[in-house]
Chains A and B, each alone.
Chain A
Amino acid sequence: MGRYLLRRLISLIPTVLGVTIVVFLLIRLIPGDPAVAMLGEHAARENVERIREQLGLNRPLFLDREALREGNVKGFFDSQYIRYLGRLLRGDLGSSIHRRIPIAEELKQRFPATVELALLSMALAIIAGLPVGVLSAARHNSALDHFSMVASLIGVSMPIFWLGLMEIMLFAVFLGWFPVGGRIDHTATVRTITGLILLDSLITGNLIAFTDALKHLVMPALALATIPMAIIARMTRASMLDALQADYIRTAHAKGLRERVVLYRHALKNALLPIVTIIGIQLGNLLAGAVITETIFSWPGIGKWGMYDAIVGRDYPVVQSVTLLIALAIVFINLIVDISYAFLDPRIHYE
């Protein structure tokens, strides 16, 4: 297992390098440049040129062949990509083009918000989706089965912006149970330890902040959980139906085991592999930022800022850093999923 982990860690290097090159190229292939985006209606040719130069955008993308022809070896490597990679190796993500604020600083605030929302949504999705899937499979073709499958179909296809606004209308405006949006009330102060407000307020014993943060989380987490919840329920049902056909289930029943034990200990454990896979994929999606949920609930995560706004504003360093972070998160989740296979199925060994 140790050697396997080491191999996986080493394979990170080409993955990350590949991600940097692809993202670096893709964002620059879209027409329109950051200087123009920055100046808006004011853009004049001369200041656009000056800003491009100031930001280093006038340098060649990968290698400067012209400099080499002039015998300038150092200039040959003075390109946008090499400059970026050099900074990255020193642990510097650079600054946002538009905001001139170090990206690392902003990520430190925003990524925990995204993680917190993603984890809670995933917890909700598993808590609700898994039992529904198991029961639907156990009572195959029953009214419960049909009902839950129709409900999950609706869950998958429900537009989040609509669901979100309905939640706000009902729970915030009419019932007044939850705040309309945001992460925590401006009067609350929480000492930052992990950046996850729920966890930090628990650690510091700040129950008021904990309750307030939880209230802020409920609606966006519910909205964000609908799709993974429905997918998990459907996947669990399909996988369980397969497992329930197996001979060992008949044997278990024949031994006189209780229904619950057969379902959860024998069938579910064997059905879990594809479910864990799908949970990993869904969690990756959630961590990549939920642009719509964040917009509706004013959630200060990485989705709207790092993906939507940064792409529209051609804020290259932000797009590059956020994509890199998301790629790392997904690689990490995949690793955990792979390791969990070995625990779920003793026949799987990693050498």
Chain B
Amino acid sequence: MNTRRFTNIILTLVLVAAAFAASCRGPAARPGAPTGGTFIFGRGGDSVQLDPAIVTDGESFRVTGQCLEPLYQYEPGSTKPIPALATECTPNATSTEWTCKLRKGVKFHDGTDFNADAVIFNFERWRFTNNPYHFESQVFEYYEYMWGGFDDASMITAVQKIDDYTVKFVLSAPLAPFLANLAMDMFAISSPAAIQKYGENYGTPSAGCVGTGPFKFKEWVEGDHITVVANEDYWGGRPSIDQIIWRVIPDDSARFLALKAGDIHALEQAVVEDLAAAESDPNMYVLTRPALNTAYLAFNFRIKEFQDIRVRKAVAHAINRKALVENFYGKYGEVATNFLPPLVWGHNKDIKDWEYNPELAKQLLAEAGFPNGLSEVTIAEDILDAEGNVVYKAGDKIPLTLYYMPVTRFYYPSPKEIGEAMAADLAKAGMNATLELAGDWPTYLGLRRDGLLVGLYMLGWGGDNGDPDNFHNYFFGGLSSENEVKEPDPREGFYANQEVARLLYLAAVNPDQAEREKLYKQVEQLLHDDVARIWIAHNNTPLIFSSKVSGYVPQPVGADYYEWVKIQQ
């Protein structure tokens, strides 16, 4: 056998294997025979709606992600986009046109065909405000947010049908995170026939969701449970279990007790004591959802003292983040040195973290002209509310305030206690901050939007698609050309960094990932050097399982994989 022929055989084998691998969803081999059974998952709240295009909450996507699929999805356990309903998408030379080959022979749960027309139907429904299925009562929040707007403002200017199984996306400008966007839960493809049939009711409990996913919608009893059943004809092979039930159990302790009593098989969100109990219980085990979130402490730059970098550095050195993580996040949290969590490419691990050093903080304050500490601050410029009324006048003296969040979010597990600990840390370094609860969650967010959290304030971010652009651009970018001037945004405490914004623009339009990575690392370094914000922690979310369950894959972003779940009967 000559070497050439041998190479050919090997190549063929590799290609066949690759084709086979591409036809399977994810890395694990398909289970041979289904093991059956009902998998019951306990969660804190009900889904809002099962039409993913019009919702923003994780509890809705938890269900729609099993019922519907986007053109791309995320590799199991990571944020890398891999083909799903598309088999490949390739850009043109300037990255402004993407041609996607669609998977053939796939049917929606209602028996209709998945093809180019279905893709176009969905994208046009989301994009055009005068589309008959873009109902007035529905808010297509994520389409606007990820694709720049509706109608003519949309970055996707056309979705063209090349043939029945090929579509071309035409973009108004190069968009580097295109595939990551495409893979988001909200852009999963629904059956056009179902949308036509149910109209405005598509996604409500009476209609559910109709897609191509591994599980089909069965029933939704509001406030109680949602049931989906295995899709026998799933293109990736029938799932192992027969059905999934998501049960709503709002109370954290009651949910854990339900797992203990055997009423449910798995849960997300548990109090620290229950997690410890789960770890030592032979009938349970814990998996973590890798962190795609960051908790931060932000400065309002309309405060004169915060415009001095020495004061910001003093705050950074004063807060003992290691102790915060140990006490409030337990072993599931990690201290944040970047805005990007370590999982996301672009994370810069060379950044030298702020050392906890209250003495150094005091010294920096003294250098900045506050040898006796800081308990009162000065408004540098008028701050207006949404109606244009002056709320804070330039020159006003106000107490140094630390606003803490009124609700628990995944990135801040107990915001009030963490706020108290931060205030105590600040006091040790001579900064006497008043802790303030500005109101409930909508109030807090409203004040933040208008730049009216005047002091230090706690907030965070959870990534939507695993692309660094999705973290940085919303906060520090937003330019539509390289030379546009970055205006201070009230929503971000009036922070503006021209160089950061410029680099973020360049990174967003550059299709080369290696170059983008360099740019994001540079951005992280600039934000660090400028003490734009203090990154506090990333939180890996624990999930507790009954030891009867195996094969669950928690995703940092996108739908969890349930197809390989097996239950010991």
Contact = CB atoms under 8 A, between A and B. Distances in A.
B371 interface: no
Contacts of A34: 442
B449 A36 contact: yes
B446 A32 contact: yes
A138 interface: no
A110 B136 CA distance: 27
Contacts of A301: 223
A47 B145 contact: yes
A32 B446 CA distance: 6
Contacts of A312: 440-442
Interface string A85-103: 0000000000100111100
Given A32-B439, A180-B249, A182-B247, A41 B254 contact: no
Contacts of B462: 41
A305 B441 CA distance: 17
Interface stretch (B115-123, B255-263, B336-344): B255-263
A176 B258 CA distance: 11
A45 interface: yes
Contacts of B449: 36, 43-45, 48
Contact of B49 (A45, A99, A173, A179): A99
A93 to B, nearest CB: 14
A204 interface: no
B442 A313 contact: yes
Contacts of A305: 223
A41 B445 contact: yes
Nearest to B250: A295
B292 interface: no
Contacts of A172: 257-258, 261, 263
B32 to A, nearest CB: 28
B224, B247, B442, B460 — which one has the most chain A CB atoms within 10 A of its CB? B442
A47 B144 contact: yes
B263, B440, B445 — which one has the most chain A CB atoms within 10 A of its CB? B445
Interface string B220-231: 011111010000
B137 interface: yes
A169 interface: yes
Contacts of A298: 224, 247-251, 254
A40 interface: yes
A32 B136 contact: no
B172 interface: no
Contacts of B443: 30-32
B12 interface: no
B222 A110 contact: yes
A106 B47 CA distance: 13
Nearest to A298: B249
Contacts of B248: 298, 300
A11 interface: no
How many chain B residues sit at the interface, stated as a range, is: 35 or more
B276 to A, nearest CB: 17
A109 B206 CA distance: 12
B442 A176 contact: no
Majority-rule SS of B interface residues: mixed
B137 A95 contact: yes
A297 interface: yes
Contact of B440 (A32, A109, A165): A32
Nearest to A34: B442
B245 interface: yes
A109 to B, nearest CB: 5
A39 B141 contact: yes
Given A47-B141, A109-B221, A304-B250, A31 B261 contact: no
Contacts, number: 148
B160 interface: no
A100 B137 contact: yes
A39 to B, nearest CB: 7
Interface string A138-169: 00000000000000000000000100110011
Contact of B261 (A41, A48, A176): A176
A51 interface: yes
Contacts of A48: 449
Interface in A64-123: 95, 98-101, 105-106, 109-110
B459 interface: yes
B547 interface: no
A295 B251 contact: yes
Interface in B209-243: 221-225, 227
Interface in A31-66: 31-34, 36-45, 47-48, 51, 54
Given A41-B461, A110-B222, A186-B245, A173 B260 contact: yes
A47, A101, A176, A183 — which one has the most chain B CB atoms within 10 A of its CB? A101
B445 A165 contact: no
B137, B263, B449 — which one has the most chain A CB atoms within 10 A of its CB? B263
Given A32-B439, A33-B442, A41-B445, A182 B225 contact: yes
A223 to B, nearest CB: 12
Interface in B8-60: 48-49, 54, 56
Contacts of A45: 386, 449, 491
Contact of A32 (B247, B445, B474, B491): B445
B253 A165 contact: yes
A37 B250 CA distance: 19
A38 B138 CA distance: 12
A181 B386 CA distance: 44
A280 B443 CA distance: 37
A101 B442 contact: no
Given A32-B440, A54-B139, A314-B442, A180 B206 contact: no
Given A98-B48, A298-B249, A40 B260 contact: no
Given A37-B445, A180-B249, A298-B248, A165 B224 contact: no
A300 B224 contact: yes
A327 interface: no
B249 A38 contact: no
A329 interface: no
A324 interface: no
A27 B442 CA distance: 13
Given A36-B445, A180-B261, 5 more contacts: A42-B145, A45-B491, A51-B141, A54-B136, A169-B257
25 contacts: A31-B442, A32-B444, A39-B445, A40-B56, A40-B445, A41-B459, A43-B445, A44-B449, A45-B449, A47-B144, A54-B139, A106-B222, A110-B222, A165-B257, A168-B261, A176-B261, A179-B261, A180-B257, A180-B263, A295-B254, A298-B224, A300-B221, A300-B222, A300-B223, A313-B442
Interface of B: 48-49, 54, 56, 136-139, 141, 144-145, 200, 204-206, 221-225, 227, 245, 247-251, 253-254, 257-258, 260-261, 263, 386, 439-446, 448-449, 459-462, 474, 491
Closest 9 pairs between A and B when the two form their complex, measured CB to CB: A300-B223, A32-B442, A32-B443, A37-B442, A180-B258, A298-B249, A295-B250, A300-B224, A173-B261
